[in-house]
């Protein structure tokens, strides 16, 4: 289901007309809820970077939300996956920032930066797998969510629309039930079937039944 079809369906089911801004709001609020409920493939992104010798910080991408993995590539071309710790751990484990070595740990320092430990002793290539918000169907026209699991997107947007209309509780309850059914199926796919081979404990995985 593309965005043009989604808008038509929302208005037909609600038996109401909405402005473009209202329809965009319903859709984007539904997307945000879904993206923070299920880790679908469309939320994954990859970027390469470089550490700087003597610089204990590594910048994160502007659209970064959370980390799946961060690896540093050594001079032999081997990928070394860093262990996620908090800032306090790194400050305690590597109390002298001037002491350099091959990075082993990383922490979220702030919204834009990782803290590495120890301070890199060279300019190493890095590879970051991370989560982000993909472009909304409102501006993209079509997305993975709309193409592959439109039931979740449609019912999520309908909930927003009916809430905006102050619909009767029976109507809200019915579409809440439909939305939860769709999200359950989507979680079984995104957090279950598509993640059965995940072995890192930091990545959420739901058991498939």
Per residue in 31-47, pLDDT tens?
999 999 988 888 999 99
Residue 182 has what pLDDT? 94
Backbone φ, ψ for residue 81 (5° rounding): -80, 125
Q: Are residues 127 and 83 in the same domain?
A: yes
| Averaged pLDDT, 102-126 | 97
Dihedral of alpha carbons 65, 69, 72, 76, sign? negative
Which pair of tokens denotes residue 71?
């690896």
CB atoms closer than 10 angstroms to residue 166 = 7
Report whether pLDDT(195) > 90: no
Q: How many residues does the chain have?
A: 209
Report whether 137 contacts 145 (CB < 8 A). yes
143 in any annotated domain: no
Q: Looking at the domain assignment, is residue 91 inside a domain?
A: yes
Instruction: Please state the rounded mean pLDDT for residues 157-166.
Output: 97
Q: What are the b/e assignments for 80-95, b being 16+ CB within 10 Å?
A: eebebbeeeebeeebe
Report the percent of the chain where pLDDT is more than 90.
Answer: 86
pLDDT band at 60; cut points 50, 70, 90 = very high
Domain, as residue range, for 115: 43-131
Per the domain annotation, does 182 fall within a domain?
yes
Residue 30 included in any domain: yes
Domain count, the chain: 2
């Amino acid at each position: 289901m593309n965005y043009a079809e989604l808008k038509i369906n929302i208005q037909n089911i609600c038996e109401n007309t909405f402005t473009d801004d209202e329809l965009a709001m319903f859709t984007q609020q539904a997307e945000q809820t879904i993206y923070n409920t299920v880790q679908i493939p469309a939320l994954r992104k990859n970027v390469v970077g470089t550490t700087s010798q003597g610089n204990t910080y590594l910048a994160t991408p502007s659209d970064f939300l959370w980390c799946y993995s961060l690896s540093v590539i050594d001079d032999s071309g081997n990928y070394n996956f860093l262990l996620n710790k908090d800032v306090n751990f790194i400050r305690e484990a590597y109390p002298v920032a001037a002491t350099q070595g091959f990075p082993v740990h990383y922490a979220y320092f702030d919204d834009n930066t990782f803290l590495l430990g120890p301070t890199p002793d060279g300019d190493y290539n890095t590879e970051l797998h991370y989560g982000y918000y993909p472009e909304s169907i409102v501006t993209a026209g079509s997305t993975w969510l709309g193409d592959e699991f439109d039931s979740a997107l449609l019912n999520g947007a309908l909930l927003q629309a009916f809430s905006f209309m102050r619909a009767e509780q029976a109507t809200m309850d019915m579409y809440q039930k439909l939305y939860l059914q769709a999200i359950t199926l989507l979680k079984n796919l995104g957090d279950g079937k598509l993640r059965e081979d995940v072995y890192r404990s930091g990545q959420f995985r739901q058991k498939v039944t």
